[in-house]
Structure formats: C-alpha cells, structure tokens
Amino acid sequence: MNLTSEQQIYETSCRILGATHINIANVLSKKLLINHIFAIVFNGFLIIPTILLNTVAIITIWKSPQLRSKACYFIILVQSAVDLAVGVVSIPLFIFYLWSRLAGNVKYCYAAFFAFQSTLLPLGLSSIILTALTLERYIAIVHPYSYNREVTKKRLLLFIGSCFVFEFSVFTLPFSGFQSLLELYAVIKMTLVFLFIAFSYAKIYLVVRKISRSQCKPQDPSSNENLTRMKLFLREIRQAKACFIVVICFCALSFLPTITVFPFALVLDQFEELAIQAWIVTFGLLNSSINTVIFFWTKTMLKKEAFKIFKRS
C-alpha cells in the first residue's frame, strides 16, 4: 500500500511469550489523530459517571439486607462491581492504549498490547453475568414454584465464579500466540449466549401473555391470596423487563457495531480499521454506565433506598 507523507505508519513487532504481535507505534494521519483524540476525551469523561453511579448502586445494595438477600439484586451487585472495575481499570487502560498509538515510542508496545486485552475482558465477564441474570429471571417466571429451591446466592456465585475463571484463562490465549482460538471462542460463546437469551425471553413472553389474558377474565374479589400472589408475580415481570432492556442495550453497543462493520472489513484501509476499532470498544465500555441506570436509577424504590442510606451516613 502506497502511503503519502501525511499517512506514514510505523509498525513495531512485539514478541510476547514466544508469539509475535504487531503494534502501531506511530500514526501520522490527521484524521486518525483527531479520531483518537475525540475517543480519548470521550472515554475520559465516561470514567466519572461509570465510577459514581456504580459505587452508589453497590453501597446501597450491600448495606440493605433486604436487597442483598434477593438473588436478582445479588447478581446486579456483582454486575455493578464489574462495571465499577471498568471505570477504575478498563477505561484508563483503553485511554492509555489509544494514547500509545500516537506516542511514537517502541517501549509502549508491550504495555499497549496488555492494556487492550485487559480492556476486552470485562465485556466477556458482563455477558456471563447477564446470562446468569437471564437464567434467574427465566426460573422466577417460567418455573416460579421451584425458584426458592433452584436459585440461591451460593449457586449463582459458584456459576459466575467458575465462568470468570474460565473466561480469564481464555483471554490469556493471545499472549501465547493463539489469537485465532480466542476469536473462535468468542464467536461460539456469543452464539450460544444469544440463542439462550432468545429462548428464555421467548418463553417469558409467552407466560406473560398468558397471564395478561387471564387477568381479563372476571376474578374473585375475595381471593386476597391470589391478588397478593399476582402482585408479586407482576413485580418479577417488571424485573425481567429491565433485564431484557439491559441485554438489548449490551448487544446493541457491544456487538451490533462489529456485525455492521464486518461486511465492509475487506474494503476498509488500515487507518479506517483503527478509527472504527476505537469507537467499537468505546461503545462496549459505555455499557457500564447504562447498566446501572437501567437496573438501579430507573427504579423509584432503589433510589429511595439509596437516599435513605446516604442520609443516615
């Protein structure tokens, strides 16, 4: 590829654990320079709401025994902890990665590669937590009578913890030169996660539609027990709705940009790929703020609980 003086690109080969990786050490393209500066500034501002919103959510759920004891809010607590780690660790690392492209110094090669891999890890962890939350909502609505027996914090923590360990192990593959295996794993995992989520919410929708039809029929006003049970069930449905919105946002921000760009991958030049990559990862990191807004700040009860706790403090 012929490059003008305005578009010179210098590559540095990094040899990490026996594998060779290419890192962009210096890019002299004005458009790419502006693109990266905007991405750095946007991610810098993103750190503040990500840390602030998730910190409040974690403190509120942890200090409220009523919320902490429920499996649904326990999963939200774990997700908020991962999202907080995104604000504290992942976004600063990604900013460093973007800056290292423009620094023009070979010594940043290894650190930049590590920073980029570390930035992608929380996205994989979030997909695991959302899968666990979907499973919890599925059992709560489709099989409510077995919910207390099947869904416990201990089981959820064991499932999430085991998946975390496996996910972390897989993300070390590029350091051993098995980048292609990581890509294959990502495709297989996200396909299975998507199929499971689609199946779960399809079943939930059928149950909700059946319940809504039964509500249209005359009910026995003296049946207070049935009325109380129905109110509790409607609350479970509202939680499932919030979970579904979060899953849709996660897929839209994390995977839709990649799927949209993929058909044009062969016609994009190297500078366009770098510019698009910067914003694809940024959109994925944006989930960490949106998750807590949908899960926590859209619910009046949780906001009141947060104000109570911080007022007492």
Q: From the CB of residue 196, how many other CB atoms can be counted at a distance below 10 Å?
A: 14
HSE toward the beta carbon, residue 267, CA cutoff 13 A: 4
CA distance 26 to 21: 15
Which pLDDT belongs to residue 64? 80
Which pLDDT belongs to residue 50? 92
Whether the pLDDT of residue 158 is over 70: the answer is yes
Lowest pLDDT segment from 28-32, 119-123, 250-254: 28-32
Which pLDDT belongs to residue 107? 57
Which pLDDT belongs to residue 16? 45
- Name the 3-class secondary structure at 267: coil
Whether the pLDDT of residue 177 is over 90: the answer is no
Whether the pLDDT of residue 128 is over 60: the answer is yes
- What are the Cα distances from residue 307, in Å, to 196, 285, 299, 312? 37, 27, 13, 9
Average pLDDT, the chain: 75
Q: What is the mean pLDDT of residues 119-133?
A: 83
Nearest to 140 by CA among 203, 64, 225, 65: 203
Q: Which helix (H) or strand (E) holds 266?
A: none
Q: List pLDDT tens digits, range 178-223.
A: 667 777 777 788 788 888 888 988 888 888 777 766 655 555 545 5
Which pLDDT belongs to residue 216? 54
Higher-scoring residue by pLDDT: 57, 173: 57
Most confident segment among 91-95, 225-229, 236-240: 91-95
Higher-scoring residue by pLDDT: 114, 34: 34
HSE toward the beta carbon, residue 194, CA cutoff 13 A: 13
Q: What is the mean pLDDT of residues 254-272?
A: 72
Q: List pLDDT tens digits, range 272-295.
A: 777 888 888 888 888 888 888 887
Domain ranges of the chain: 5-214+225-312
Q: Which residues of 20-41 are buried (b: 16+ CB within 10 A; e: fewer)?
A: ebebbbbbbbeebeebbeebbe
Whether the pLDDT of residue 6 is over 60: the answer is no
Whether the pLDDT of residue 126 is over 80: the answer is yes
Q: Burial of 87 by CB count in 10 Å (0-12 exposed, 13-18 middle, 19+ buried)?
A: buried
Q: What percent of the chain has pLDDT over 90?
A: 6
Pick the CATH number of 5-214+225-312 from 3.40.50.1980, 1.20.1070.10, 1.25.40.10, 1.10.150.570: 1.20.1070.10
